[in-house]
C-alpha cells in the first residue's frame, strides 16, 4: 500500500528503518522480503535433500549401471550454468511462478552435490566388514540400513 505512513522519514522509534518516498515503512518491506526468502529456502532445502538422499543411497547401494546413470545425471546438473537456466525457466513459467514453484525449481537443480556426498558415504559403509558379515548372516537390506543409521535401533537390535 502506498501513502500509509509519512514519506521520507529518517529511522526513529516508530519507523525503525524509516520510510521511503512512496510512504511505505522500510522495516516491514524488509520483513516481508525475508519471510518470502525463508519460504523459498525451506521448500528448496527440504525437497532437494529428499532427492539427494534417495539418489545418493540408491546409487551407492546398487552400484554398477544404476550408479553410473544416476551419477551421470548428477554430473550433468553440476556442470550446467545454473543461474542462466533458472532465469530461462523462470521466464518460461512466469505466469505460474510463485514461491512454491520457485522453491521446487531451485530444489530440482540443487540436489546433485549432496547426492554425491551421500553416495560416497554409502559406498564406504557398503565395503566395511561389518556390512559384509551382516549380509552373509542373513540380515536384510532394510534392517541393515536402519541399524547402521539409527543409534536407538542399534542398541535395541544388538544380539544379547
Residue 150 belongs to a domain:
yes
Residue 156 belongs to a domain:
yes
> Would you give the distance in Å from CA 147 to the centre of its chain?
25
Predicted confidence (pLDDT) per residue in 9-27, tens digit: 788 888 778 888 888 888 8
Residue 15 belongs to a domain:
no
Predicted confidence (pLDDT) per residue in 23-55, tens digit: 888 888 888 888 889 999 999 999 999 999 999
Predicted confidence (pLDDT) per residue in 116-136, tens digit: 999 998 888 888 888 888 888
Residue 116 belongs to a domain:
no
Of the pLDDT bands very low, low, confident and very high (cuts 50, 70, 90), residue 2 is low
Percentage, residues of the chain above pLDDT 90: 36
Q: Which three cell numbers stand for residue 39?
A: 519460504
Residue 139 belongs to a domain:
yes
Rounded to the nearest 10 degrees, the angle between the axes of helix 99-110 and helix 82-92 is 150
Residue 159 belongs to a domain:
yes
User: Given a cut of 50, is residue 160 above it in pLDDT?
Assistant: no
Long-range contacts of 59-67 (CB under 8 A, 24+ apart): 59/115, 59/119, 59/122, 60/118, 60/119, 60/120, 60/121, 60/122, 60/123, 60/126, 61/122, 61/126, 61/141, 61/145, 63/123, 63/126, 67/119
pLDDT at 22: 83
Task: Using a cut of 0.85, tell me whether the model's pTM lies above it.
Answer: no
Look at the chain and report how many structural domains it folds into. Answer: 1
Residue 135 belongs to a domain:
yes
Residue 154 belongs to a domain:
yes
User: CA 83 → CA 9, 34, 39, 79, 101, distances in Å?
Assistant: 37, 21, 20, 12, 16
Could you please report the per-residue DSSP string of 36-56? Answer: HHHHHHHHHHHHHHHHHHHHH
2 φ, ψ (degrees, to nearest 5): -100, 150
Range of the domain at 159: 128-160
User: Given a cut of 90, is residue 139 above it in pLDDT?
Assistant: no
Amino acid at each position: 500500500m502506498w501513502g500509509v505512513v509519512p514519506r521520507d522519514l529518517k529511522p526513529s522509534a516508530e519507523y525503525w528503518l524509516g520510510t521511503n518516498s512512496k510512504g511505505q515503512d522500510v522495516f516491514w518491506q524488509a520483513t516481508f522480503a525475508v519471510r518470502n526468502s525463508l519460504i523459498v529456502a525451506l521448500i528448496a532445502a527440504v525437497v532437494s535433500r529428499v532427492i539427494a538422499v534417495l539418489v545418493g543411497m540408491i546409487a551407492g547401494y546398487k552400484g554398477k549401471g544404476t550408479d553410473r546413470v544416476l551419477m551421470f545425471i548428477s554430473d550433468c546438473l553440476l556442470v550446467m550454468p545454473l543461474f542462466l537456466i533458472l532465469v530461462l525457466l523462470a521466464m518460461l513459467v512466469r505466469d505460474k511462478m510463485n514461491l512454491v514453484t520457485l522453491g521446487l525449481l531451485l530444489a530440482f537443480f540443487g540436489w546433485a552435490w549432496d547426492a554425491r556426498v551421500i553416495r560416497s558415504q554409502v559406498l564406504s559403509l557398503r565395503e566395511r566388514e561389518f556390512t559384509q558379515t551382516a549380509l552373509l548372516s542373513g540380515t536384510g537390506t532394510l534392517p541393515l540400513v536402519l541399524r547402521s543409521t539409527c543409534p536407538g535401533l542399534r542398541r535395541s537390535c544388538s544380539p544379547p
